[in-house]
A and B are shown apart, each in its own frame.
Chain A
Amino acid sequence: MGTTAQRTPVPVPAGGTDPAPVLSVRNLKASIGGQQVVEDVTFSVPATGITALLGRNGVGKTSSIKAILGLIQRDAGTVDLEGQPIQALPTHRIVQRGVGYVPEDREVFAGLSVAENLRLSERDDHPRRELVEALFPDLVKRAQQAAGSLSGGQQQMVSLARALMNENRVLLVDEPTKGLAPKIVGEVADALEEAAKTVPILLVEQNLAVVRQLAGGAIVLSDGRVVHTTESATSFLDDDILVTRHLGVGTGPAHEGA
């Protein structure tokens, strides 16, 4: 990970305007195999709506999300879920506390059927099967099909459905439209918009049109640090200078470093 020449001062959104953020991340540092990928990240996710997590490829967006979930080594910092510290918990406990996760590249279990993928995700006593079936009628038809045989868009539906099956405090959604056909992108965005009515979402997204459609606030990362926070993703995206500086021109096909 190189360092860029300029680095804007980090605005610390301590508290922000929202008095009680659902998720607050403070001075988070994380590494993969000894290599630091999240340098020092501080931000909070408001308790309503969709907050976009933006930045060029490889700046640590996916890694930040994985660090919040404990999927990669957390070296320092705190993560509070509704005021409760969760940074020391193992992944499954964090998820059980109500952090839903829709990973980059969908990560459906290819050898399991759609129905099995969904059943595996059920952890509440009353999984929200009706809601999921209403949102994704296509999956009901393909319940017995192996998830690996689905199209990318359908796999994304499975991945979203897994996260929506349970009552969550917050959803972490990582590049849900990556590599999807334009028509499907719209469907995924609509599903997210629908979901956001009941649960706050932290959304990593390279498709800026989708960000405009969905996001309220935005957090911008560069080189493993937060370089910009705004309560209006749209106004940020309208500012050509900021966009060029932090996102580059034409962000290109999404592919964050593994």
Chain B
Amino acid sequence: MSLVFAGVVSHAPGITGRAQRAEPAARDRFYAALDRLRLEMEETRPDALIVVGAEHFANFFMNNMPSLCIGMSDHYEGPIEDEQWLAIKRRRIPGNAALSRVLIERVMQSCDVAYAEEWKFDHGIMVPLHFLTPRYDLPVIPVNINCQGPPLIPLHRAWAFGKALRDACDAIPERIALVGTGGISHWPATPDSGKINVEWDQQFLQRFLANDRTALLGYTDAQTHREAGQGGFEIRTFLSVAAATEGQTGQLYCYEPIPIFAVGCTVARMTVA
């Protein structure tokens, strides 16, 4: 059929791994928003969920780093991290290789992507799945945008990728849900872990929810790095979702800066027309 659902969520490992150390009221508002997104996604009866993530050297390393990669397997596994550290039990996650292949071939009409028939999910995908598909009964198609370190795909190419993904979804009979996942401002895995630039985040979210292409493409990596930390490079995942829903706006379900989770915890849904 087409794209039936689009949203964005945070994925920081502390969200599950350090859950008990968060301020309970803020944490529970965030968890409730994730559950709301799950229920609304389920109402759209998706056949598969595309997760556009920004993984952290679990599969892709500097020996052969793709800017863009789409999974093409009937199953994946995760988390790659220690189960106790992430507080998510390791398991097999269903995929759909045939559906992946159709999508990849469509995307390739306008955008070069790598594919992967093997993929060990890290927290970047496992944390969203833990909340959005807790029964692990929905086939997942993982997508990665390298956001870890330069050279990084330019923002306008991340946008073009989101458009290509949308075109691919609209060309197939299956009902596809799309979730982008990344941090906004954050300094993960540094001595500044827990620092959050709330003002920067709010301005970014305003632009994202308004689907303001010009403003979103106006960020530079040097500026983002300076003001939003190296974790801010992950805005690429948000931009791909904005591109996939270009012309439509979104609604913010949650923004809670939770320092022990090292990120402004975000849940938003974009309208799909």
Are A and B genuine complex partners?
Answer: no
Residues of A at the B interface (CB closer than 8 Å) are none
B interface with A by C-beta (< 8 Å): none
